Chain A
C-alpha cells in the first residue's frame, strides 16, 4: 500500500503533523550548503544514512552551481563584453543546475520520502534558506 502512494493521495488523505527545517551551514562561507545533522523528529521515519545522502547530494549540486571554474568564468566574461545583455536570452549555468536539483528532489520525493510520509520542499521556494521537510500523519491508512 505504501508504495502506491502518490503525492496527491498523500495530501488528500493525510494531515500535516509538523515541519522540520534544515538550516544552512555557513562554516564554509556564503556558499549554499545545508546542515547534515540528522533532526530528532525524523528518527522514527527515515534512516539517518538516507537522509544524509540526500542532503549531501543537494549540497554537491549547489556547489556545482556556484563553482568558480573555467566554464563560469567564460560565461561571465562573455556576459561582461556584451554588457550583460546575454542574460536576457540565455539560461545561466546556475539556472540549469537548479532545474537539475528540482528534478532530483522530485525523484527523491517519489521514490523515498513519500512512501515514508515525508515531503521535501525545494529550497529555492524558501529563498535557499532552509530545506523544509513536511511530516505527514497518515489518518486514512488505519494501520498506524
Chain B
C-alpha cells in the first residue's frame, strides 16, 4: 500500500513531473491492483475446491480487504493526472471502506490465529496417535502370525505319533518360523546323568556329544518352564566351531518334559518331581543382530509344551501297541495250548475207546466161554477154577467200563441218557439182583418204597441202576451178618440234610422231584476220618483195604459223579467202626407228562413199531463165506440204515457177536436143493427165520420188520 498518499488538491505539482517516476508508479500500482484482485480469486477457487475449510467468513473478510485495497490502488491510477471530483469521492469511499475492513480483519485475526494454531497442535497429536496405532497394529499382526505359527507347528507336531518324526518336525518348523540358524535337542541318556545331542536342524549327522546334566546353566534352564536366554559359549550351545569374526546370535534354551510310562500318574501331571527333561537349544543367526523378542520366547515355550504332550501320546501309543502285541502272542499261545489239550483229550478218548473195544472183545470171550464151561460137567476143583475165572472176568469188565465212564465224566464229555422209565420196576430188578447174593451171605434185604413214590420217572435209568447197585453192593460187601434195608421216598424239605454240605438245597417243582434213597447196613461201619475219602477215586483207607473189597476204588467216585450230574448229593453216615453205616443219596428226576404203560417196558428193546421202513442204527451181523454175497447183503442192510458187521466164518462170528447185535444173518450151504427141508431144519435148530437168496431190498425190509416185531419171521418165502 502506498504510504505516500498525495493530497488531491488538484493543484498542479510544484515541479514538472518526473515522468519516469510517474510511469513506474503507475505500472506498479497497476500490477499491485492486479495481484490484489487475483489473490482473492485464487483463494475462492481453492476454498471451493477443498470444501473443508472452516473459516469461510475469514476468507470473505480477507477477500474484501484485498479487493478493496486493489480497488484503491486501481482508483489511484486516475489520480495521477487531472481528475474530477467524482473520482476523488470514489477514491475516498474506497479508502474509507478499505480502512474499515482492514481494521475489522485485524480485530478478527486476534481470535482466529489461536484457533488455527490449536488446529495445528491437534494435527500433530493425531499424527502421533496414528503412528502409535500403526505400531500397535504391527505388533498385533506379529502376534497373530506367531499364533498361527504355533498352531501350525502344533498341528505338524501332533500329526504324527512317531517320536522321532515329532522331534524332527519340531526343530524344522521352529527353525523355519523363527528363522533360526541352528536348533538342537539334547536328550537325557539312560543313566540320566548326561545329556546327549540327539537331533539338530542343520547338522546332518550330529556327533554324539554328551554333556553332564549337572551344569549350572542346564539346571537353570530346567528349573523353570520359561525359555531362558543362555550364553552362546556354554557347552550346550557350542554346536559348531565359531565362524570367526562374527558375533554369535543370541541363544535361548527351554526344557521339554519327557514322560515315561513307569512314572506317569494322572494326578501328578504336570508337576512331577522326578521328571526327565530334554533340552531344546535355539540359536539366532550369528550376524543378524536380531534379538529374542517376548513373543518369540512365548512361542518357544508353547512349542516345548506341545512337544511334551505329543511325545507322551507317542509313548502311550507305543505302550498300548506293545501290550496289544503281547496279548496277541498270549492269545496265540493259549489257543495253541487249548488245541493241544483238545488233541490230547481226543487222543485219550480214542485210545480209551479203542482199548475199551479191544479189551471188551476178549473179555466177552472169557466171560461167555466161562459161563458156557460152567454148564458142563466139571470136577469141584475145576468148577472152583472156572468160577474164579468168571468172577475175575466180570470184575475186569466192570473195571474197564468204570475207567471209560470216569474219564468221560471227568472231561465233561459224558451225557446222561434221559428217558421215561419205571421206577418201581427198577427197584424190583435191584432186589432180584441183590437177593441171591445177599442170601448166600445170609443177609436179609428189605426194600420199602414210599407210597407216594411215582411209578414212572424221567432220567437216566441205566446210570441210576448203576448208582443203586454200587451203593447196595457196597453195603452187602461190607456186611458180614445182619440185614440191609433200602428205603426210597420223595425228598421233602424238612428231611435231614448232610451236615457237610449245607449249600445243597433241593427245590422240587412241578416237573421234577427229588428221589431220596437210604441204604442202611449192619456192617463194619466206617470211622469219621475215612468218610471224606470214600468218594475219592483210587483212595482206599486202611480199614477198607483190609477187607477183600475187590474194588478198584472207583465205584463210589463214579457214583458221586453220576449223582452230581443228576443234580443231587450222596453221602455216608456212620457212627463208627462196628456200628454199620447208612449211605444216602438224593437225585433229581423228572415227572413224565403222560404215561402209557404198554409202551414202556422195563428194559426197552428196539422200538416195536409195526411195518418200519428203516432201521436206523440196528446192529446186524452178517456171516457169509462168499465175498460177493457178503458185499451185496451188507449193502442191502446199510441201505436200510443198519449198522452192519460182516464175518466170513462161524468162528469169526462167535468171536465178534455180542449182545449189541440184534440180528444175525448166517449163510448156510446145504447140499441138495430142498429148500423146504432146509427151512424146517433151521427152524428146529432154533433159528428165528430163513430167507432165500437173492434178497431184494423190499424183501429184506419186511423180514427185518417181522423179526423185530414178532421175534420170528413168517412168510413162505
The yes or no verdict on A and B being binding partners is no
